[in-house]
Amino acid sequence: MRFFNVNPGEHPEYIIVGLGNPGQRYENTRHNIGFKVVDYIDSRSAVSRGCKRMLHSSLCDKCVLDGYIIYNVKPQTFMNNSGMAVQDVMSYYKMSPKQLIVIHDDITLPAGEFRVKNGGSAGGHNGLKSIIQHIGTNAFIRIRVGVGVKPAEWDMSKYVLSKITDEEFALISDKFELIKKAVSSVFNYGIEHTLKVYNLIGANKVD
């Protein structure tokens, strides 16, 4: 962890993107859990003002987490066009894919579990597909947040846009602090260490 003062007006060192859809209609749906996590991270960061400023087709906030300047981003382009907003932010700040962390819902994981992933395919997630298409690479870090495994009889689009129950959200939000720590671990210790430590924690395999 860094202990020196950082001017939040400086160039960000990482972009943290939470995926979701804009508008009250989608606020508590499974697809919007990325927004919820980014809001949590932002609220626990220094010099935070909330992701309220509209720039780069996104609600954004520049703040400081563990001494690192981060740019928290909630694209407002709707999920299928998330890449447009992400590309705009990355181009503006001249950031590389290694400086990008995307937080998104995962319907293959139970509520209350999460995984850190470095690169790989979109796994059927339209927001990730759009990002990969627009920035031209899949070589960025993702944090997959379990929102409940989709029942076989459910249509995928209906399931991801369904509301998270109170019980499910309690399980998911209980891991927000650990997800924030996983993000900090990437800054301080690198991706390999973070994968080894936090994928065990995210799978509830460590007390």
Contacts of 84 (CB under 8 A, 6+ apart): 57, 75, 77, 130, 134
The 3-state DSSP class for residue 158 equals helix
**Using an 8 Å Cβ cutoff, are 151 and 162 in contact?**
no
Q: Are 100 and 143 in contact (CB under 8 A)?
A: no
CB 129 within 8 A of CB 169: no
Give dist(CA 171, CA 201) in Å, integer.
14
Between CA 157 and CA 175 the distance in angstroms is 25
- 95-99, Cβ contacts within 8 angstroms, sequence gap of 24 or more: 95/12, 95/15, 97/135, 97/137, 97/139, 97/140, 98/139, 98/140, 99/13, 99/14, 99/15
Residues with catalytic roles: 31
Three-class secondary structure of residue 1 per DSSP: coil
Give the angle subtended at the CA of 50 by the CAs of 56 and 184, to the nearest 5°. Answer: 90
